[in-house]
Amino acid sequence: MSLTVVGTMAFDEIETPFGKSGKIIGGSATYIAWAASNFVQPINQVSVIGEDFPASELDALTAKGVVLDGVQVKKGEKSFYWSGKYHMDMNTRDSLATELNVLADFQPVIPESYQGSEFLILGNLTPQVQMSVLDQLKERPKLIVMDTMNFWMEVALDDLLKVLKRVDVLMVNDGEARQLSGEYSLVKAARKIMSMGPRYLIIKKGEHGALLFSGNHVFFAPAMPLDDVYDPTGAGDTFAGGFIGHLAKTKDISFENMKTAIIVGSAMASFCVEKFGTERIREITHEDIAARLEQFVQLVNFDIDLV
């Protein structure tokens, strides 16, 4: 049931209308690993960090079944750092600082012990890095999930399109889907993007849930209405971790099971936003997850008499 996660492990500094986080741990691979580890272990982590990354954070991940053989530690260098400020709607944000540091020349190396991993998720990194990971695999995983963003569509589109041909599932938000496809209708956008390679497309719509497309099939999962949304940072990656974690646990990559995985991902994301950074998803139990999933079932369950 092994899962390989490729992405960033970083420092974030976040300001929202509810407060300031100070310097905390973030990064796509960090959020994905914390979420997915509730469903599947081991998780083979591939990332790069500086000497400043706390050993206690690495120990905490190890305790959750995350293998760190593929995490490079650059002596005398600093980890990736991002600072941002969210507006009142919590959907828009301004980046205040981005310091690539060790990420600037990251060359991932897939350890021999990671070979044969059945599931792979490529977090939001340069398409060249994502391609490098795929090229190093001796055996194609059962399922390859990929995240990307508008920036790579603007500066590395050709490379991005090459990676798309080699993955099974693409995750983007609605704005990125429209940008990549040139279509405003998300249904048309999905059809066009799937023609580029991925068999499945997930379009994340933040507080408005997520859409899953495959062929002519469409499934919509809502987001949980919450009293408090403190910090949306990492919610998309936590969603991805829940999604791939469920699929790796069940080893079922049918459209029907992906519908369940979308709900699991949405449930995990709903925890993430309740506190700053990874704080909330680090403390949740299996009982918490089961209760939240039951809330999702109730949210969308209804009886109707057809006229």
| Domain contains 51 | yes
Domain assignment of residue 305, yes or no: no
| Confidence label for 93 from pLDDT (cuts 50, 70 and 90) | confident
Residue 43 covered by a domain: yes
Q: pLDDT at position 40, please?
A: 97
What does the pLDDT look like over 22-67, one tens digit per residue? Answer: 999 999 999 999 999 999 999 999 999 999 999 999 999 999 999 9
pLDDT in tens, 219-232: 999 988 888 888 99
CATH code, domain with 95: 3.40.1190.20
For residue 303, pLDDT beyond 90? no
Note whether 34 and 282 are within 8 A (CB). yes
Q: With respect to residue 306, please indicate whether it lies within any of the assigned structural domains.
A: no
307 part of a folded domain: no
> What proportion of the chain, given as a percentage, has pLDDT over 70?
100
Look at residue 56 and tell me if it is in a domain: yes
Which pLDDT belongs to residue 144?
A: 98
Cα–Cα distances in angstroms (integers) from residue 108 to residues 48, 136, 160, 213, 270, in the given order: 8, 9, 17, 30, 31
pLDDT tens by residue, 191-202:
999 999 999 999
CB 139 within 8 A of CB 116: yes
Distance CA 53, CA 73 (A): 9
Domain count for the chain: 1
Condensed to tens digits (0 to 9), the pLDDT of residues 256-298 reads 999 999 999 999 999 999 999 999 999 999 999 999 999 998 9
- The string of pLDDT tens digits covering residues 70-88 is 999 999 999 999 999 998 8
Asked whether residue 306 carries a pLDDT value surpassing 80, the answer given is no
Per-residue pLDDT, 1: 60
Asked whether residue 70 is assigned to any structural domain, the reply reads yes
For 132, the domain range is: 3-300
**Rounded to 5 degrees, what angle do the CA atoms 80, 170, 4 make?**
55
